Amino acid sequence: MMNPKKIFLLILLVFGTLAVWSKDYKASLFGVRSDGVTLNTGSIQKAIDFISENGGGRLVFYVGRYLTGTVELKSNVTLQLEEGAVLVGTTSVHDYFGVKGNPALVVADGQQNIGITGKGVIEGQGAALFEQITGQVRKGYLPGTALQPGPALIAMHDCSNLLFDQLNLLQACGNVLEFTGCKELSVSQVTVKSTAREGSKGLVLSGCNDVRLSDGYFETAGAELTADRASGNVTVLRCKNVAGLKLMLKNQ
């Protein structure tokens, strides 16, 4: 039997760790502007890096429109979008990058204990972004392959313990949610509306395990929920589409 003193110290360690991870940081403290005009990519990334390097916590966005290009989530950081907060994707394709060739507005690679929560909105401006890409291809500034599915809203690779809760995810230029090689993933109470691009899928799982999808609403131009055969232990509960039909996973 473990010594009572060791048990007490273990409890203190666990709760101390949780307390650090739950620490809140206002986005405005890092110079992030909510005017819908200022490009906040650098400021948001600086905030994420700082929080991760200092033990973790939540980067909190309050009411306003926060324009940004790609930002990369780091371990033990959660983006908290309060009701009325809108994370807006820029319409310049040059402000996006990806992990493993999958560009997105929010990306992560090999991270753990990350997520995006709150009743706020992530808006991809998919139609305007695709129009900009089309113009760049027509002028010869981008290869024709750029016209393939554009940046997703969220793309995560080889990450674990992920939480996406209560979000409103709107109008991606590509797919909305993409997860590759991830495990211990929870997506709950999300509203997905993405009809701006033909073929835009709601959620795509590739080689993921221990996944729980619950109480979501999906209205997409392409398939709502897809998974490859390498994904396992995936549970879908009470998810519906625009017709009110219960959703099940489709094999890719």
What digits encode the pLDDT tens for the residues 88-132?
999 999 999 998 888 999 999 999 999 999 999 999 999 999 999
Which residues of the chain are modeled with pLDDT < 70? 1-22, 252
| Residue 18: predicted pLDDT | 40
Specify burial of residue 119 (Cβ count, 10 A radius: 0-12, 13-18, 19+).
Answer: middle
Q: Is beta strand 102-109 parallel, antiparallel or unpaired with respect to 97-99?
A: antiparallel
| Residue 109: predicted pLDDT | 97
| Residue 4: predicted pLDDT | 40
| Residue 252: predicted pLDDT | 62
Fold of 24-251: Pectate Lyase C-like (2.160.20)
> Which among 113, 146, 115, 111 is positioned nearest to 129, based on CA atoms?
146
| Residue 22: predicted pLDDT | 66
